[in-house]
Amino acid sequence: MFHEDFESIFTSLIGGGETHTGVDGFVAAWSNWLAAWAAYRMTPAEAIDCGDQVVVCYEVLARPKGSTGEVKLNGADVWTVRDGKIARWEAYPSRRAALKAVGLEE
């Protein structure tokens, strides 16, 4: 399902702007991100077909460790497909930022 040179990018707001290689890098980065949360639920809201890319917008309800209050986050990911496999995943802090990354917004 993943391309042999799969990359995942957590843009600056979501994990420091780091690029990770391979599925293991993706899993490690997500594990680091999720470590701060006692509860984390992501609900997809919209998928936008952009040819070789798909923008997936979502809402997150999460509770930081040591807190009783929930945090609501909205974000969007850009998934890039090459040769029928997932080649790249990029996380963005907003729908607008993701659409700008694929050239659909200025």
Range of the domain at 43: 2-101
Rg (CA), the chain: 14
Task: Give the CATH number for residue 45.
Answer: 3.10.450.50
* Edge-to-edge order in the sheet of strand 53-64: 18-21, 2-10, 85-92, 71-82, 53-64, 37-49
Query: How do residues 38-68 score in pLDDT, each as one tens digit?
Result: 999 999 999 999 999 999 999 999 999 999 9
Give the chain's domain count: 1
Confirm if 76 and 94 have CB atoms less than 8 A apart. Answer: yes
- What confidence score (pLDDT) does residue 29 get? 85
> Please, which pLDDT band fits residue 14 given cuts at 50, 70 and 90?
low
Is 106 inside any structural domain?
no
The secondary structure of residue 51, as a DSSP letter, is: S
Q: What is the pTM of this model?
A: 0.87
79-84 mean pLDDT: 96
- The answer, yes or no, to whether residue 12 has pLDDT greater than 70, is no
- What confidence score (pLDDT) does residue 18 get? 79
Task: Spell out the long-range contacts of 69-74 with Cβ–Cβ below 8 A and sequence spacing 24 or more.
Answer: 70/39
